[in-house]
């Protein structure tokens, strides 16, 4: 297991934007590969989160998908991570829709929609990573925390002055 995921979160965002913005109908031909890519990108996002926390991403699978196992691992001890639980399940769902659509009749739209779901996961986790130094992303109270820190610094400063 490498500490460097196959893609960074920023690269995932760029790739998702490209898929969403691709010309109409152009994704159908490669839809099955794109379906697998959606899963891989989701995994890369969660791997980045786990490595940032000093935890080795699991290779296990939940319900047949590593992405779901990674989500479960990431959410352990971090309830706010459950805010992306269904997002991960939707990625799996879109990948499955493509794979079980034998004629790929709706594959272009499904792949595009799947990319939007992966983008949401990337934005959510990317935001959490940026904010992790300030506390929980969900329900965070940066103002209060900063206020408390500033108040403490002022109190210390005043005590020293006195």
Q: Which of 30, 96, 120, 132 binds another protein (CB under 8 A)?
A: 120
Residues 104-127: b if buried by 16+ CB within 10 A, e if exposed:
beebbebbbbbbebbbebbbbbbe
Check binding of 84 to another protein (CB under 8 A): yes
Q: Which of 8, 11, 14, 20 binds another protein (CB under 8 A)?
A: 20
At its nearest, how many Å lie between another protein and the CB of residue 111? 12
Distances (CA, A) of 38 to 91, 118, 133, 138: 7, 7, 29, 25
Check binding of 149 to another protein (CB under 8 A): no
Q: Which is nearer to another protein, 54 or 133 (CB)?
A: 133
Cβ contact 108:27 at 8 Å: yes
Task: Give me the residues that bind another protein (CB under 8 A), please.
Answer: 20, 79, 82-87, 89-90, 93-94, 112-113, 116-117, 119-120, 123-124, 126-127, 130-131, 135-144
């Amino acid at each position: 297991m490498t500490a460097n995921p196959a893609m960074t979160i920023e690269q995932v965002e760029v790739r998702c934007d490209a898929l969403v913005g691709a010309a109409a109908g152009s994704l159908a031909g490669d839809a099955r590969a794109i379906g697998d890519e959606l899963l891989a990108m989701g995994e890369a996002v969660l791997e980045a989160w786990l490595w940032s926390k000093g935890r080795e991403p699991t290779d296990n699978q939940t319900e047949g998908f590593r992405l779901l196992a990674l989500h479960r691992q990431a959410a352990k001890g971090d309830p706010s991570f459950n805010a992306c639980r269904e997002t991960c399940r939707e990625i799996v769902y879109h990948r499955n829709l493509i794979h079980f659509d034998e004629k790929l009749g709706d594959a272009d739209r499904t792949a595009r929609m799947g990319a939007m779901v992966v983008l949401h996961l990337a934005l959510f986790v990317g935001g959490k990573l940026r904010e992790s130094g300030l506390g929980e992303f969900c329900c965070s109270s940066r103002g209060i925390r900063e206020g408390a820190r500033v108040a403490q610094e002022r109190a210390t400063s005043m005590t020293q002055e006195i």
